[in-house]
Amino acid sequence: MADAARKLESATSALAVRDLQAWYDESHVLHGVNFDVAPGEVVTLLGRNGAGKTTTLRAIMGLIAKRTGSVHFEGRELIGLPAREIAKAGIAFCPEERGIFASLSVDENLMLPPVIRPGGLSRDDVLTMFPNLRERLSSQGTKLSGGEQQMLAIARILRTGSKFLLLDEPTEGLAPVIVQQIGRTLATLKNQGFTIVLVEQNFHFAASVADRHYVVEQGRVIDMIPNTEIQNNLGKLHAYLGV
Amino acid sequence: MFELLGIPPQALFGQLLLGLINGSFYALLSLGLAVIFGLLNIINFSHGAQYMMGAFVAWMGLTYLGIPYWGALVIVPLAVGATGVLIERLMISRLYHLDHLYGLFLTFGLALIIQGLFRNSFGVSGLPYSIPPQLSGGQNLGFMFLPNYRAWVVLASLIVCFGTWFAIERTRLGAYLRAATENPTLVGAFGINVPRMITLTYGFGVALAAFAGVLAAPIYSVNPNMGADLIIVVFAVVVIGGMGSILGAILTGFGLGIVEGLTKVFYPEASSVAIFVIMAIVLLFKPAGLFGRTA
């Protein structure tokens, strides 16, 4: 029964991760991660530092050389593919360190990721969504403030036509007013049909944007909590996250 | 002022021109090295041999196939660049997971092999390559005589250097290249084929060296050691300009050619060491080079 339910779930999901294991050199970091993301959902991976959240995103994206298991995306198996093929399959990645290029202007950073399928936001749509960037287009990418760099890092992957986003800690180190702005952006993207997997340390931010939360501990997903039931599970979550 | 120093203007301008010619080659060659180093992180020690190959392939094209200078100027960089693509695919690409020193060793070994092969086949006495008829003769500028071919060398080098700078710093393709130089992993995660870009970049750097070789064929005698003689100075130019800086490589190339020329006027004894003295001084005060970014 549970098996049948799981099969059904993975058949309708945009992303199905099964027994994902990953290694950095010799150290075994992911020990069998399982989770699903339905189309149009915003899902978070919550967990303490070092639990394996960032590694999970990087393993899905093909940025970790040694990985096993299954990453099923829109009916395709991605586990053996190089990162560039995974990007072309329709997954866009925004790294924790934001990855803004110092030798490129803001505009060049924005226009860098190639369009992989039609239906992405136009340059103008993106600049309407992030008006701060419009005034800084000719600046060096890394001359932007931390918040602006984060917006640029999200903005540039919205152009590609990928509707499935992996965002690694987009609120880290940012002022509350910027965090709110990013929260509103994610809500807008969800309304436009984007599917988002979000790694977060900021639990309150996660609760304000997500449909479901997966709790990661020691390289495994150990629990799933729908956002609607979060009030009833606060004690459990605090125990997981050590807040 | 010239008279005060006891130097006739003819000598001064003559040496300045010579400096500019040398600078044209320094700039083209150090530009290729900088482009390759930027993306591959490898010091391409076979660059001098690939410059020599450019001159030889031009000579062979003319002698065996009747391909004239102007055809060679286009075909030879493509042909020699293609050998660069093969070398990157078959050999250099296997070394990226190792220390960068291995790339240097490999390309140094390749340089010795290539030079040896040409020395075996053609000897060391040098082969003549005549100036294309359209560019023979020269202009009397009043204060000096300017041979047409030499003016063309400076012009061609300036055009190619500026074109390369423009392509890298001002175009979308160049933005990919700059981004991949900074963070190849992330550029790959955007769906861009970084390994292919690396291969083509190496081929392009080699093609620049071959282009310089074709330009050099009518001025210097075509011989297997022509690259080895020049490349040491070019490495000094790259160190002074800063590894991986495109504009730095171009400006330093021309600038040092001129400085070298002027040294020949004012203190000839120092002319062959001037560039190396400058290199030592620059390294003391700006270890990353004049245009290098300090990490």
Selection from B192, B198, B234 nearest residue B46 by Cα: B234
**What is the domain range of residue A152?**
102-161
Residue A8, pLDDT > 70, answer no
Q: Given pLDDT bands bounded at 50, 70 and 90, which one contains residue A241?
A: confident
Nearest to A102 among B176, B182, B194 (CB): B182
Spell out which residues of chain B touch residue A160, defining contact as CB-CB under 8 Å.
190-191
* Residue among B39, B30, B28 nearest B93 (CA): B39
In chain B, domain spans: 9-105+115-285
Nearest-angstrom CA–CA distance, A209 and A202: 11
Tell me whether residues A84 and B189 touch, CB distance under 8 A: yes
Helix residue spans in B139-225 (DSSP H): 148-170, 172-182, 184-189, 194-216
Residue with tokens 């997500």: A210
- Does residue A172 sit within a domain? no
pLDDT of residue A1: 40
Structural domains counted in chain A: 1
CB contact under 8 A, A84 and B188: yes
Of B179, B185, B189, the CB nearest to A101: B179
In B, what residues contact A, Cβ < 8 A?
Answer: 172, 175-176, 178-179, 181-183, 185-194
> Using beta carbons and an 8 Å cutoff, which residues of A are at the interface with B?
61-63, 82-88, 93, 95, 99, 101-104, 108, 111-114, 116, 157, 160
Among A87, A102, A112, beta carbon nearest to B175: A112
Q: Which residues of B touch A63 (CB under 8 A)?
A: 185, 189
Sheet containing strand A27-37, strands side by side: A27-37, A15-24, A66-73, A76-77
What is the predicted pLDDT for the residue at B270? 87
| pLDDT tens over chain B, length 295 residues | 445 467 777 788 888 899 999 999 999 999 999 999 988 989 999 999 999 999 999 999 999 999 999 999 999 999 999 999 999 999 999 998 898 899 999 999 999 999 999 999 999 889 999 999 999 988 888 878 889 999 999 999 999 999 999 999 999 999 999 999 999 999 999 999 999 999 999 999 999 999 999 999 999 889 999 999 899 999 999 999 888 788 899 999 999 999 999 998 888 888 889 999 999 999 999 888 888 765 4
The strands making up A164-168's β-sheet, listed across from edge to edge, are A91-94, A164-168, A195-200, A42-46, A212-217, A220-226
> How many Cα atoms are found within 13 Å in the side-chain-facing hemisphere of A183?
18
For residue A32, pLDDT beyond 60: yes
Residues of A in contact with B183 (CB under 8 A): 99, 101
- Please give the helix or strand (H or E) that residue A164 lies within, else none: strand A164-168
Residues of B whose CB is below 8 A from A57: none
Which residues of chain A are within 8 Å of residue B175 when distances are taken between CB atoms?
104, 108, 111-112
Smallest Cα distance from B39 to chain A, Å:
13
Tell me the per-residue pLDDT of A109-151, one tens digit each, with 9 for 90 and over.
Answer: 999 999 999 999 999 999 999 999 999 999 999 999 999 999 9
- A40 within some domain: no
Burial class (CB in 10 A: 0-12, 13-18, 19+), B3: exposed
CATH of domain B9-105+115-285: 1.10.3470
Q: Report pLDDT for B52.
A: 97
Closest CA–CA distance from residue A5 to any residue of chain B (Å): 33
Rounded to whole angstroms, how far apart are CA atoms A190 and A44?
13
- Cα–Cα distance for residue pair A44/A33, rounded to 1 Å: 14
Say how far apart CA B185 and CA B138 lie, in whole Å: 52
Helical packing angle, A176-191 and A146-158, nearest 10°: 10
> What was the pLDDT predicted at B1?
46
Phi, psi (5° rounding) for residue B213?
-65, -45
Inside any domain, residue A114: yes
Shortest CB distance from A101 goes to which of B183, B188, B189?
A: B183
User: What ipTM score was computed for the predicted complex, to two decimals?
Assistant: 0.91
Local structure of B284: helix, strand or coil? helix
d(CA B87, CA B99): 18
Confirm whether A223 is domain-assigned.
Answer: no
| Residue A13 lies inside a defined structural domain of this protein | no
Task: Supply the pLDDT for residue B19.
Answer: 93
Contact list, B192 vs chain A (CB under 8 Å): 84, 114
Q: What does pTM read for this prediction? A: 0.90
Question: Residues A77-86: pLDDT tens digits?
Answer: 999 999 999 9
The residue in chain B having the minimum alpha-carbon distance to the alpha carbon of residue A92 is B190
What are residue A77's phi and psi, to 5 degrees? Answer: -90, 125
Dihedral pair phi/psi, residue A210, rounded to 5°: -100, 160
In whole angstroms, give the CA distance from residue A95 to residue A58: 9
Q: Running DSSP on this structure, what letter comes out for residue B127? A: B
- Tell me how far apart the alpha carbons of residues B189 and A137 are, in angstroms, rounded to a whole number: 23
Give the model's pLDDT for residue A33.
96
Between chain A and chain B, the number of residue pairs with CB atoms below 8 A apart is 58
Binary contact (B188, A83; C-beta < 8 A): yes
> Given its phi and psi angles, is residue A37 left (phi above 0), alpha (psi -120 to 50 degrees) or beta?
beta
Contacts A108 to B, Cβ<8 Å: 172, 175, 178
What region does A15 belong to: left with phi over 0, alpha with psi -120 to 50, or beta?
beta
Whether residue B9 contacts residue B210, with contact meaning beta carbons closer than 8 Å, is answered with: no
Residues in contact with A71: Cβ distance below 8 Å, sequence separation at least 6, in sequence order = A15, A16, A17, A18, A20, A59, A60, A77, A78, A79
pLDDT band at A9 (very low <50, low <70, confident <90, very high): low
